[in-house]
Structure 1
Amino acid sequence: MKKKMSKSKGMLQNGRNLSARSSFWRFPIVWMIVGAIGIVLIDTLFRQLTERVDGVISLIFTLVMGFLAILVYKLTLTYLAQRSTPEISRQRAGIEAILGVLTGAIFITGSVFIIIALGGYSFQWASSANTSSVLVSIVGSALGAAIVEELIFRGLMFQAIDKLGGKLLALAVTSLFFGVAHLGNTGATIYSAFAIALEAGVLLGAAFLWRRSLWFAMGLHFAWNAIEGLLGIPVSGHSASGLFNVKVNGAVLLTGGDFGLEGSIVPVVLSLLISIPMLIWTARNRGAAVGNLPVSK
């Protein structure tokens, strides 16, 4: 009898230990950190590889990196957070990515044209540029950044904070962190970080809430960086050797100065004009959309 009681107590204790471990790994901050570390490690490894090769091979490495980063994200959410991942579903992935690219293209080209009209930018074709080389380099760089940053910020962080405190808190926290993450870039200031928090953090967060798709957010992010790079405009302080040489004139508040378009007031205003309708639509359709939103179990 004593042996049976001892065995039962041991089984109960083991069950409690397993339950405690399961609860630990399912805690949002834990799986957010684990997933982010995995994605950053993959990104770091493949960045070193792409720096050693040129042309199409570097683009292939970027695509492999993106695939592995998405796989790490899916495994993290499936086995640690223990929930499904409709936000990266292959169904409608193509159309969502294309819609995101179109939205990002309209946003960035609109911002650039306004600054041109106000005398802030002028462009001249870079005759010495190797078109194919520039395209491959900028597309690869923009694609890698879009995949990694969206998986971490809108994928892991947004949904972890959402689980803990709701969508508004998630939007505020991810936007703030997204701005702070760019403080180390060349030419960054407190204002540029604030501008990025509003124009990128809020816009990409609103886009994710609106479409409930990381493909859409990645497409928007990709078009943003790629178009800036192709135009030769610095991307958040990172100089770009694009297809054009850009001449900057006037106040930094208009042009963004050495930091690039993200430091301009123009995309800040335009991004809010795009984000607010997205957030209003999301709020009005919250009841109908709850079943489609990524929800941690």
Structure 2
Amino acid sequence: MAKVNSGQKILHFPLTKIIVGLIVCIGTVKIGQVLVQEILEFTSFDQDLKRLIGGVFTAMLAILSYCFLFKFYEKRKITEFSTNNLVKNIAIGIILGALLQSLTILVIYLKGGYTILSINPILFILPALTMAFTSAIFEETLLRGIIFRIPEEKLGSYVALLISAFLFGALHLFNPNSSLVDAIGLAIQAGLLLGAAYIYSRNLWFPIALHFAWNFTQSGIFGANVSGTTLSKTLITSKIEGAAWFTGGEFGPEGSIQATLFCLIPTIILLVLSHREGKIVKPYWKKKSKALTLVLQ
């Protein structure tokens, strides 16, 4: 019996759950990508459309693999992908993400650093749509659904938020045209904001929509680089020039100081609201302390 208990403890240890979750979700997506690419090669679709179909398919695989795994692994209902308030969460996320990115670009424009060179056909948004859709779902499922949610159960909301934000920034350090300053900026702005969005909504659709709108508006609409990556087709072909501190340089506008400042405002608001509404999870040592106090009383 002792061996069974030890095995169960190891199986349900937070780090074990994180590793298993990452392996299953990433593995499923990678296999799905290969399969769908092979199937799409037999079609006569345009390459941009093929990438969009493939992206939607693999994004759905990420959600399905997550839901099936943790439904049986943790023996619970997967509320983080609940359709309750789905429209509300997606709408607010899209509006907030687009607004924050637009304000970031506006600062560059007001300082004379943003110029529109041409407005292209509407279908030019497809590459950006694919990138924004797939990265938002895949990254939020892994970063907020696994790397934030599981540690939060033991370490509490604030510690888990710092860990997930740090990892979010560190992962982007390896992107093209990235630097330590860019990674730190992303950790502060997106890492904290997306985590705060999950804490407040207790639903992954809110941070997914926010993440999607931020990336899509930045690249698909304004034609800027996203995390160091340049897309060949965008709705607006633009020229961005000026000091890196307000343009983000080759990394993109999210590397600018105003992007960090603009994102900190809703982050603080969401955390304050979460605290007031009792949505902040306390770390296990505070729970134990409170329980001991109640026993002594």
Give the TM-score category using the shorter length: 0.7 to 0.9
Instruction: Tell me, yes or no, if structure 1 residue 166 matches structure 2 residue 143.
Output: no
Partner-residue secondary structure (3-state), 2:173 = coil
> What stretches of structure 2 of length at least 5 have no aligned partner?
282-297
Residue 209 of structure 2 corresponds to 219
Residue 88 of structure 1 corresponds to 81
User: How many residues of Structure 1 are paired with residues of Structure 2 in the alignment?
Assistant: 272
Within-5 A mapping of 1:198-213: 198-213=188-203
Identity of aligned residues (%): 30
After TM superposition, where is structure 1 displaced by more than 4 Å over at least 4 residues in a row? 46-53
Shift in Å, 1:99: 1.7
Aligned in 2, Cα 1:42/1:261: closer, same or farther, shift over 3 Å? Answer: farther
Which of 122, 135, 139 aligns to 1:131? It is: 122
Instruction: Tell me, yes or no, if structure 1 residue 228 matches structure 2 residue 218.
Output: yes
Which of 131, 135, 143 aligns to 1:145? It is: 135
CA contact (8 A) 2:115 2:240 kept: yes
Q: What TM-score results when the alignment is normalised by the length of structure 1?
A: 0.85
Letter in 1 for 2:23: I
Instruction: Tell me, yes or no, if structure 1 residue 237 matches structure 2 residue 233.
Output: no
CA contact (8 A) 1:195 1:268 kept: yes
Partner-residue secondary structure (3-state), 1:245 = strand
Residue 56 of structure 2 corresponds to 63
CA RMSD of aligned residues (A): 2.0
Letter in 2 for 1:23: K
Instruction: Tell me, yes or no, if structure 1 residue 28 matches structure 2 residue 14.
Output: yes
Within-5 A mapping of 1:42-121: 42-48=28-34, 49-50=36-37, 54-121=47-114
The structure number with the bigger radius of gyration is 1
CA contact (8 A) 2:32 2:61 kept: no
Q: What TM-score results when the alignment is normalised by the length of structure 2?
A: 0.85
Q: Using the alignment, how far apart are the partners of 2:133 and 2:235 within structure 1?
A: 18
Q: Using the alignment, how far apart are the partners of 1:82 and 1:20 within structure 2?
A: 19
Shift in Å, 1:46: 4.5
Q: Using the alignment, how far apart are the partners of 2:136 and 2:188 within structure 1?
A: 17
> What stretches of structure 1 of length at least 5 have no aligned partner?
1-12, 291-297
Q: Using the alignment, how far apart are the partners of 1:248 and 1:67 within structure 2?
A: 34
Shift in Å, 1:170: 0.6
Partner-residue secondary structure (3-state), 1:273 = helix
For residues 226-247 of structure 1, give each alpha carbon's deviation from its aligned partner in whole angstroms, at most 9, with x where no partner exists. 1111121010001123122221
For residues 270-290 of structure 1, give each alpha carbon's deviation from its aligned partner in whole angstroms, at most 9, with x where no partner exists. 001111111111111116x87
Q: Using the alignment, how far apart are the partners of 1:29 and 1:75 within structure 2?
A: 19
Residue 272 of structure 1 corresponds to 264
